[in-house]
C-alpha cells in the first residue's frame, strides 16, 4: 500500500475514540493538489485512524499500531474493514481506511434488542468468512466482539479493530503470561495466557457473540473480571434455546461447540462453522432465488392468493445467498435504526409473516426429522 500524507485529507467529525486512537470522518481534499495515491481515493467513503498525541511516544503502542496497519494491508477481504495506506504526521501515526456507516452489531443490540435467528445465521456466515481469511494469513484477532463487527447500510458485516491481533508470522508484542482481550469474550486459553493459542480463541469469542445476538445478554454474567474469568474457565455455558425458544437445534449446537472449554472440542475452523450456517439456511429456506426479489415475496406467495406455499417448490439458490433472507431482515433493522429508507422497503406485515413462516419451517423440520423411515 502507498505511503500517504495526512495533509492530503480533510478530517471531519469524530466517529469514535478508543484507548490509543481517534477515528475521523475524512475525504480527499479538493482545494489543493494532492499526491496521486491520495487522489486515487477521491470519492471513496473514508475514515482516518490517528494515534493520540499522549501515547505517540510509547514504543509498544507504536509497534502495535504499525502491526495493525501491516495486518490490514494483508487482509483484503469483503468482510474486513478496507485499508488504503498510512503514514506519519508530526510524529503521529495514522492510516486511512474504509468508512462504514451502519453502526455495529453492539449498537443494533442496544437499540433494538436481540436479533432474529435468521439474521444471526447470516451475520455468522459473514464473520466466519472474515475469520477464515485472517486465520489463513496467520492472524488471530483476539478481540472479536459485537462492538468490532461493523455494518454497512446494506447489511454487509465488516470485521475491524485488529489492534491486539496476534500475527503468527511475527514476534508477539504481548509478554508471555499476560492476558489480552475483552473479558466477556475471552477463551479459557486466552485467560490463562497460553503462548500457543490458535484461531480457535476467535471461534470461542464467536460463540459468545452469537449467544449475545440471539439472547440480548452475555454468556456469563459475572460482576467483575475475576468472576467472569472463573466462569469462562469452569462453568458450563447455558444453551441459548433455554432463553430463545425458536432457535433451531443446529444453531444452538454449533454455539455450544464454539464455547467448548478445550480448543480441541471446538469446530475445526471458521469455515466449518460457516458450513453449518449454510446448511441451516438451506434447511430452513432462508435463501432468495431468482424468483424472489424481496424479503416479503415468500409471504406474498403464501398469503397473497397467488399460489399455496410449497417448501419443495422453492427456486434454486446459489451457495452465496442461502442466508439472504437474514441479510435483508438485518438491512431493514439497520435502516430503521438510522432513520433511512431500505434499498427495498419492507412492510411490517411482511416481516411478521416471514418470521411466522420461518418458525413454521422449524416446527415442520423437527416433526419430519423425528418421523420413522421405511
Distance CA 13, CA 161 (A): 19
- Residues sharing a CB contact under 8 Å with residue 71, sequence separation 6 or more, in sequence order: 139, 162, 165, 167
Task: Quote the longest CA-to-CA distance of the chain.
Answer: 77
C-alpha cell at 47: 475514515
Q: Is the dihedral of CA 176, 87, 153, 13 positive or negative?
A: positive
Judge whether 94 and 51 are in contact, CB under 8 Å.
yes
Residues designated as active site: 143
Quick one: which H or E segment has residue 46? strand 46-51
- CA neighbor of 185 nearest in space, from 226, 127, 145: 145
Neighbouring-strand partners of residue 22: 17, 50
- Residues sharing a CB contact under 8 Å with residue 288, sequence separation 6 or more, in sequence order: 295, 297, 317, 321, 324, 325, 328
Amino acid at each position: 500500500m502507498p505511503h500517504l500524507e495526512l495533509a492530503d485529507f480533510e478530517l471531519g467529525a469524530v466517529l469514535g475514540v478508543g484507548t490509543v486512537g481517534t477515528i475521523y470522518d475524512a475525504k480527499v481534499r479538493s482545494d489543493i493538489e494532492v499526491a496521486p495515491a491520495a487522489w486515487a481515493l477521491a470519492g471513496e467513503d473514508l475514515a482516518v485512524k490517528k494515534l493520540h498525541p499522549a501515547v505517540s511516544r510509547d514504543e509498544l503502542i507504536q509497534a502495535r499500531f504499525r502491526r495493525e496497519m501491516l495486518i490490514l494491508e494483508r487482509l483484503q477481504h469483503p468482510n474486513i474493514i478496507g485499508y488504503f495506506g498510512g503514514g506519519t504526521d508530526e510524529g503521529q501515526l495514522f492510516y486511512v481506511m474504509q468508512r462504514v456507516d451502519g453502526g455495529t452489531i453492539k449498537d443494533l443490540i442496544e437499540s433494538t434488542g436481540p436479533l432474529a435467528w435468521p439474521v444471526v445465521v447470516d451475520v455468522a456466515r459473514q464473520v466466519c468468512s472474515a475469520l477464515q481469511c485472517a486465520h489463513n494469513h496467520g492472524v488471530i484477532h483476539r478481540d472479536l466482539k459485537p462492538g468490532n463487527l461493523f455494518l454497512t447500510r446494506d447489511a454487509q458485516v465488516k470485521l475491524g479493530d485488529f489492534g491486539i491481533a496476534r500475527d503468527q508470522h511475527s514476534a508477539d508484542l504481548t509478554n508471555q503470561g499476560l492476558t489480552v482481550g475483552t473479558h466477556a469474550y475471552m477463551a479459557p486459553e486466552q485467560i490463562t495466557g497460553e503462548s500457543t493459542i490458535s484461531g480457535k480463541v476467535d471461534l470461542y469469542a464467536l460463540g459468545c457473540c452469537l449467544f449475545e445476538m440471539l439472547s440480548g445478554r452475555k454468556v456469563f454474567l459475572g460482576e467483575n473480571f475475576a468472576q467472569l474469568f472463573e466462569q469462562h474457565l469452569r462453568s458450563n455455558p447455558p444453551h441459548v434455546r433455554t432463553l430463545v425458544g425458536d432457535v433451531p437445534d443446529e444453531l444452538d449446537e454449533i454455539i455450544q461447540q464454539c464455547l467448548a472449554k478445550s480448543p480441541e472440542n471446538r469446530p475445526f475452523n471458521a469455515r466449518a462453522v460457516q458450513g453449518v450456517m449454510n446448511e441451516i439456511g438451506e434447511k430452513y429456506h432462508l435463501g432468495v432465488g431468482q424468483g424472489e426479489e424481496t424479503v416479503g415475496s415468500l409471504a406474498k406467495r403464501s398469503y397473497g392468493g397467488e399460489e399455496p406455499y410449497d417448501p419443495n417448490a422453492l427456486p434454486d439458490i446459489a451457495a452465496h445467498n442461502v442466508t439472504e433472507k437474514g441479510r435483508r431482515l438485518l438491512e431493514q433493522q439497520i435502516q430503521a435504526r438510522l432513520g433511512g429508507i431500505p434499498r427495498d422497503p419492507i412492510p411490517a406485515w411482511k416481516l411478521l409473516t416471514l418470521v411466522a413462516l420461518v418458525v413454521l419451517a422449524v416446527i415442520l423440520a423437527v416433526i419430519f426429522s423425528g418421523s420413522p423411515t421405511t
